[in-house]
Structure 1
Amino acid sequence: MKLFRFFVIASIACLSTAFLGGCSDDEGVDNRDLDYGYVQFKLYKEASYDGTRAVKPQLDYLSEASKVKVTLYYNEQTIAQTLTLSAADKPSAEFGLRSEKLKLLTGSYQIITFSLYDANDELLYNGTPLDNTLEVISGGLSVRDLTVNVAPRGKVRFRITKDMSGFHETPGKTRAVEREYTFDEIAFMKLTVKHRITNEQTVFDMLPTKFTTHFKDDTEEGAPEDKEDGYQTSTLTCDTLLSLKAGDYTLASFETYDKNKLLLETNNRPAGEGFSIEDNKTTKTDVKVTLYEADEYIRDYYALYQIWKALDGENWYYRGEGFVEGANWDFNKDPDMWGNQPGVELHSNGRVAKIDISEFGFRGHLPAAIGQFSELIELALGTHGDTNLLGYDPSLAPDKSLAERNRTRMERNKEFLELIHTPTQVSEPIAFALAEHNISIPATSLYKEYSEEEIIDRKTGLQKNIRPYDVIHGKLVNGLKSVDPAIGKLQKLESLNIANGELESLPDEIANLKSLTDLEIYNCPKMIRFPMGVAGMPELISLNISNNAQWSPEELYKGLDAIANGPSKEKLQILYATNNKLKEVPESFSNLKKIGLLDLSKNQIETIHPFGKEVAPVQLYLDNNNLTHLPVDSEGYFCNTDDTETFSVTYNKLAKVPNIFSAKSKFAMKSVDFSYNEIDGFEGEDTDSYKGIRVQTFTLSGNPRLTKFPKCLAQSNSMIGYIVLRACSISEFPKGCFDSKNSAALMSLDLSYNALKALPEDFTAEKLPYFYGIDVSYNAFEKFPWGPLDCKGLTVFSIRGQRDADGRRCLREWPTGIYKHTGLRGFYIGSNDLRKIDDTISYLIYQLDISDNPNITFDASEICYYWKQGVYTLIYDKTQNILNCDKMLE
């Protein structure tokens, strides 16, 4: 039946209508004069209300009721009225429902029955109140409570805590799956609770959890008594409020799941006490997840603690940039949180993946606990960057993951080599010329941070020693004394750095590190013997054994020879062996067929054997040694240069430029540098057998025995973009120096600090159509060399500081009409003996140096406006006679 279709006798219907103010009787009584009042009914659950009696079976939830039909007795008549019920929301309904207000005549009523209906007008429940009286007061509101027999229910909120009660007994493990998991991996829980009386089970499936860390006071229940204040713990909270029937419960079982809802563990016998649910109350209860001391990740954390204790951990003080200064490891927390330490990184399963204690100031003996870390990928016990003055060390790249570092290993180390090996720089005018064409080469790199005066000695033209990082042998930053042989158990270790400590030896067991690809043994001054275990490593890709000058030449030779004959010989790609005492490079280096970056600089190398055709380094540094020549094999190879970018043999004792390259190569090298040797010529130039070279930048600076411009470059059809011959003793150009089909490739020429008096006749635009810059400063020109100005692309011309054999200024000629050169942007003619200049000064030549010309008279009218606007650079002295721009002399 429908709720609004109920039967009421006609007289009662009329009376009810009268109550609502819309009907009068036959005698014409005006009911509007009678007094009215209001009544409202409130429904409550019987379990939460005293003194109720229901006549029908109980409801599951009070919120099931949407309407109440109340039958009243008044003045010997029966009245039935249906009212809607409401609450703030469904959960609030369990605490009570409120009906709409009913307008009735004042007087005394009796409540006969009440019935509840759902939203579809289906009868749910019939009830009679114990107290059935109802008094309607004139102008007032009477409230009558009705109680309903509803199953008593309450709320429960679960907190997931850690059970570590068996940590000192290492109990057996019970897992639903093979892999172990960490507490914070739990993202969802499935809980099954059982009513203690009825044994009815309720399942709460896939409840989301939230991991939180917090402090536990000593006074808090369960806090370790022997821990100091600030002890940290962690819990998982389930914010979902769950409904249960009132009663006593136990946790029957639980399942844990990770963020991908993959099962972690099933526990059918969970620990913990029961809990009780009361009607309309919220209960909080804990679910204990057992942690096992036998789990490998927990064992890892105990090993961290043992290492910390063995290496004087209580006195560690971090001095790097990765963490707060003074940082240390903290073990005042639950053991499963011990892996969260500065310098320690973990796998997703909690196992230790990386340990870097390089800048904590550790000291002592690395214990056997190191062997526990079977999942360790990286271990740093000091690195070459500990005292590094570089702003950022790309070879270490601490901000990158190991996978990314492995992918970019070669590029990062090439960048590092360019930083620690300062390329021989061109003069500032040449750097300016190239910058005007957006050309950047290693020979201009320092001008981003330094001025020409800071780079080049103005008296000699020699490059100053700019050292970007610290390589002081014997400077220690830690006190590592020994490494336990257990380190050989680290079968997944890929990167190992040991540096700047008191280590006297390494165990032979390091040869067992079968996955190790990157190894550094740097600045270990007490390690007298070469660690021969290195030679037995099967997968080495990168090796740095630099700054170990305590090794004798024989000891180092023996070690390098063993490596070049060892299992990694055809896998090794990067080798640093700088700042040592190596005198002879082993012949076995011809086995290093994959070597890409080889740095043997700053040794004492006198003897080097040909690497051969199969060795093709990308970067080769042999600087600061005692080499007198570079030999070739029977096929004419010192090494294969097809892939070579940088070939640097500076600061040695080479007498000739070695004939080891070829102009016929299909590939052009970036830079070949033989600066600061004893070179006086080229091998094969006398017999026309010099094979030439194909390179972007060719540098022979600082070779005072070189007196002639190398004509053999043209004869061999060498292809060169930039030639740097600063600070030699060049005084002449043999005929035909630029008479080559590849001369057009030349774009700049630094001939500063030589003894030139003239340029050759073939220095013409026809031979050099793409020529951008020339610097003949600090030579002996008495007449201005006009030849380069024929090159339309010429951007910079520098001819500063010309002096004769007696040191007198010898250049007085100003190149009249130079303003007509439309491509010139820089003109450097300072430190000469210019007098009155009767010539137009072009504003297009906006970098002009006329400084240190004490007798000059210079009309600045053509450039004054541009100079004032800051778009023109005039290098001058205020003592000079500058006309028509008074602002310049203020």
Structure 2
Amino acid sequence: MYNQNLNVLSFSFSLWSRSFLQNFEDFASFCLFELHDLVHDLAIYVARDDFQLLNFQYKNIRENVRHLSVLENDLLLGQISIPTGLRTILFPDGANSKPFLNTCLSRCKYLRLLKLNKSRYKNLPHSIGKLKHLRYINLEKSKELERLPDSVCKLQNLQTLDLSECENLLKLPNEIGNLIKLQVLYITTKQSNFPEELAKLSSLEILAFINCDNLMFSFEGIQFPKLKLLSFSYCGNLKSLPFHIIPNIESLIIMDCNMVILSMGDNNNQIPKLKLKLIRLNSLPQIVTFPQWFQGCANTLHTLIIGNCENLEELPKCLSTFISLKILKIVNCPKLISLPEDVHRLPNLQGLTMSGCPELYRRYEPEVGQDWYKISHIKHVKVVELED
């Protein structure tokens, strides 16, 4: 499970400290965790009157049910009475029954959460715009989806819209800026640029582009005042980033974007003051060295993860001035030959991982490497020759 909301982050940390969560990873601006099986089972037990799993053994939906999970696609083809008070509907993988979907959207006027990931719908009914209470729509991996109805833009209470890996989605609705409460937006689409309407998404906290091969990115003049996390993954033609946005965000993730150059171009000699707490860079062959703007987050950066950057030759010498850095992870960077000379002076570094970096392994091999003494004091150190 992933969470980025700051209030929920604090609550999640509290649950982890009481052993309700496991495999908890704190990345400063977001966290990853799993529920213990016992906690999951307890939640199911407590919610037994409000929650129902619909399967071939239990085909009838109880009238008082508020949260429904349909386990089999074939169940959507039968004559099922849908309670009007449903708040949550989780569709099964491969869902494609338009009559069932139409019935749900027309009857369930109080619906808060709609999960349609891996569905086979080419479009959604226009009636979805009447669900004034809807807060969450998940269409992840709905690979046949081609368009969203314009009525989606009437959902002014919508907080999360997940369109990741909807690889046939032609474009976003033109009036998407009407989603004034939208906080989380994951996008996969064929379009190259985005409407100026996006500038109206003033509540947006997470913006992620996944498999947007046509993305050229302009966003000139567009600001997202509450944006915390900006992510690009598998955007093959993306060459530059919207650097005017970056000074406001806390997390920057760039993965498998073969053309991306991190330089700020004409502004490269200026070092802006940044708020970044996490930077994750993966499979970026254009990176040889770090740009100067990286120094701008020396006081805030908590986590730096670098992976599969085959041409990276050096880390910035200023890295030793990053007083907040707690986690440094370097994986499969074969041309990287050393850490900064005074890396041992990082005051708060608690976790250091280096794997798949032959020269780094030679120099920092535990107990025997010539520079092992520089990192041996770090609480959690993992130096291996090959990636696990």
Output the TM-score relative to the length of structure 1.
0.31
State whether residues 308 and 331 of structure 2, in contact with CA within 8 Å, keep that contact through their aligned partners in structure 1: yes
User: What whole-Å deviation, never above 9, does each CA across 1:308-362 have from its counterpart, x for those lacking one?
Assistant: xxxxxxxxxxxxx97264366537x9xxx48678439xxxx97333333244844
State whether residues 52 and 67 of structure 2, in contact with CA within 8 Å, keep that contact through their aligned partners in structure 1: no
One-letter amino acid matched to 2:332: G
Aligned to 1:326: 56
Q: Does 1:502 align with 2:109?
A: no
Aligned to 2:255: 623
Aligned to 2:128: 487
How far apart are 1:678 and its partner, in Å? 0.8
Cα distance in 2 for residues equivalent to 1:799 and 1:367 = 55
User: What whole-Å deviation, never above 9, does each CA across 1:513-544 have from its counterpart, x for those lacking one?
Assistant: 11111112244344334444434422210112
RMSD of aligned Cα (Å): 4.4
Aligned to 1:527: 169
User: What whole-Å deviation, never above 9, does each CA across 1:412-463 have from its counterpart, x for those lacking one?
Assistant: xxxxxxxxxxxxxxxxxxxxxxxxxxxxxxxxxxxxxxxxxxxxxxxxxxxx
Alpha carbons of 1:564 and 1:719: their partners in 2 closer, same or farther (altered >3 Å)? farther
Cα distance in 2 for residues equivalent to 1:589 and 1:601 = 23
Cα distance in 2 for residues equivalent to 1:691 and 1:790 = 12
Alpha carbons of 1:583 and 1:718: their partners in 2 closer, same or farther (altered >3 Å)? farther
Alpha carbons of 1:329 and 1:617: their partners in 2 closer, same or farther (altered >3 Å)? farther
Alpha carbons of 1:492 and 1:342: their partners in 2 closer, same or farther (altered >3 Å)? closer
Cα distance in 2 for residues equivalent to 1:634 and 1:534 = 31
Among residues 631, 638, 662, which one is paired with 2:295 in the alignment?
662
State whether residues 614 and 639 of structure 1, in contact with CA within 8 Å, keep that contact through their aligned partners in structure 2: no
Cα distance in 2 for residues equivalent to 1:798 and 1:594 = 36
Cα distance in 2 for residues equivalent to 1:354 and 1:625 = 36
One-letter amino acid matched to 1:775: E
Cα distance in 2 for residues equivalent to 1:482 and 1:792 = 56
Cα distance in 2 for residues equivalent to 1:503 and 1:580 = 15
Alpha carbons of 1:623 and 1:518: their partners in 2 closer, same or farther (altered >3 Å)? same
Question: What are structure 1's unaligned runs of at least 5 residues?
Answer: 1-320, 384-476, 731-750, 757-773, 778-783, 802-890
> Aligned pair count?
317
Aligned to 2:155: 513
Aligned to 2:110: 375
Cα distance in 1 for residues equivalent to 2:378 and 2:127 = 66
Q: Does 1:343 align with 2:74?
A: no
Q: Does 1:585 align with 2:220?
A: no
Cα distance in 2 for residues equivalent to 1:515 and 1:479 = 26
How far apart are 1:367 and its partner, in Å? 3.2
Partner SS state of residue 482, structure 1: coil
User: What whole-Å deviation, never above 9, does each CA across 1:615-661 have from its counterpart, x for those lacking one?
Assistant: 4333321011124531337496787543x332111210201122223
Aligned to 1:595: 227
Aligned to 1:538: 180
Cα distance in 2 for residues equivalent to 1:585 and 1:351 = 42
Q: Give the 5 Å matches for 1:409-424.
A: none
Alpha carbons of 1:596 and 1:540: their partners in 2 closer, same or farther (altered >3 Å)? same
Partner SS state of residue 323, structure 1: strand
State whether residues 611 and 638 of structure 1, in contact with CA within 8 Å, keep that contact through their aligned partners in structure 2: no
Partner SS state of residue 121, structure 2: strand
One-letter amino acid matched to 1:576: A
How far apart are 1:573 and its partner, in Å? 0.6
Cα distance in 1 for residues equivalent to 2:357 and 2:67 = 57
Aligned to 1:427: none
Cα distance in 1 for residues equivalent to 2:180 and 2:381 = 56
Alpha carbons of 1:325 and 1:491: their partners in 2 closer, same or farther (altered >3 Å)? closer
Cα distance in 1 for residues equivalent to 2:130 and 2:383 = 66
Aligned to 1:388: none
Alpha carbons of 1:326 and 1:672: their partners in 2 closer, same or farther (altered >3 Å)? same
Aligned to 1:855: none
Among residues 351, 363, 374, which one is paired with 2:97 in the alignment?
363
Alpha carbons of 1:582 and 1:359: their partners in 2 closer, same or farther (altered >3 Å)? same
Cα distance in 2 for residues equivalent to 1:635 and 1:525 = 34
Among residues 82, 87, 97, which one is paired with 1:353 in the alignment?
87
Alpha carbons of 1:363 and 1:592: their partners in 2 closer, same or farther (altered >3 Å)? same
User: What whole-Å deviation, never above 9, does each CA across 1:821-880 have from its counterpart, x for those lacking one?
Assistant: xxxxxxxxxxxxxxxxxxxxxxxxxxxxxxxxxxxxxxxxxxxxxxxxxxxxxxxxxxxx
Question: Which structure would you say has the larger RCO, counting Cα contacts within 8 Å and 6 or more residues apart?
Answer: 2
Alpha carbons of 1:793 and 1:521: their partners in 2 closer, same or farther (altered >3 Å)? closer
Aligned to 1:697: 327
Q: Give the 5 Å matches for 1:24-43.
A: none
Q: Give the 5 Å matches for 1:436-515.
A: 477-499=118-140, 500=142, 502-515=144-157
Cα distance in 1 for residues equivalent to 2:373 and 2:320 = 32
Q: Answer 1 or 2: which has greater strand percent.
A: 1
Output the TM-score relative to the length of structure 2.
0.64
Aligned to 1:678: 311
Q: Give the 5 Å matches for 1:203-282.
A: none
Alpha carbons of 1:786 and 1:558: their partners in 2 closer, same or farther (altered >3 Å)? closer
Cα distance in 1 for residues equivalent to 2:184 and 2:380 = 43
Alpha carbons of 1:669 and 1:372: their partners in 2 closer, same or farther (altered >3 Å)? same
Aligned to 1:101: none
How far apart are 1:379 and its partner, in Å? 2.2
Give the % identical residues.
15
State whether residues 129 and 151 of structure 2, in contact with CA within 8 Å, keep that contact through their aligned partners in structure 1: yes
User: What whole-Å deviation, never above 9, does each CA across 1:452-505 have from its counterpart, x for those lacking one?
Assistant: xxxxxxxxxxxxxxxxxxxxxxxxx54334322222122222112234263332
Q: Give the 5 Å matches for 1:823-834.
A: none
Partner SS state of residue 153, structure 2: helix
Alpha carbons of 1:661 and 1:509: their partners in 2 closer, same or farther (altered >3 Å)? same
One-letter amino acid matched to 2:124: V
Partner SS state of residue 233, structure 2: coil
State whether residues 330 and 341 of structure 1, in contact with CA within 8 Å, keep that contact through their aligned partners in structure 2: no
How far apart are 1:606 and its partner, in Å? 3.6
Question: What are structure 2's unaligned runs of at least 5 residues?
Answer: 1-50, 71-82
How far apart are 1:611 and its partner, in Å? 2.8
Cα distance in 2 for residues equivalent to 1:530 and 1:573 = 18
One-letter amino acid matched to 1:354: T
User: What whole-Å deviation, never above 9, does each CA across 1:746-787 have from its counterpart, x for those lacking one?
Assistant: xxxxx31x4x5xxxxxxxxxxxxxxxxx5259xxxxxx6688
Cα distance in 2 for residues equivalent to 1:597 and 1:793 = 32
One-letter amino acid matched to 2:365: D
Alpha carbons of 1:603 and 1:795: their partners in 2 closer, same or farther (altered >3 Å)? closer
Aligned to 1:775: 365
Cα distance in 2 for residues equivalent to 1:361 and 1:791 = 52
Aligned to 2:193: 558
How far apart are 1:797 and its partner, in Å? 10
State whether residues 535 and 563 of structure 1, in contact with CA within 8 Å, keep that contact through their aligned partners in structure 2: yes
Cα distance in 1 for residues equivalent to 2:88 and 2:270 = 43
Q: Answer 1 or 2: which has greater helix percent.
A: 2
One-letter amino acid matched to 2:294: F
Cα distance in 2 for residues equivalent to 1:690 and 1:724 = 16
Q: Give the 5 Å matches for 1:744-759.
A: 751-752=360-361, 754=362, 756=363
Partner SS state of residue 53, structure 2: coil
Cα distance in 1 for residues equivalent to 2:239 and 2:147 = 28
Cα distance in 2 for residues equivalent to 1:518 and 1:541 = 6
State whether residues 514 and 539 of structure 1, in contact with CA within 8 Å, keep that contact through their aligned partners in structure 2: yes
User: What whole-Å deviation, never above 9, does each CA across 1:96-124 have from its counterpart, x for those lacking one?
Assistant: xxxxxxxxxxxxxxxxxxxxxxxxxxxxx
Cα distance in 2 for residues equivalent to 1:498 and 1:796 = 39
State whether residues 129 and 154 of structure 2, in contact with CA within 8 Å, keep that contact through their aligned partners in structure 1: yes
Aligned to 2:6: none
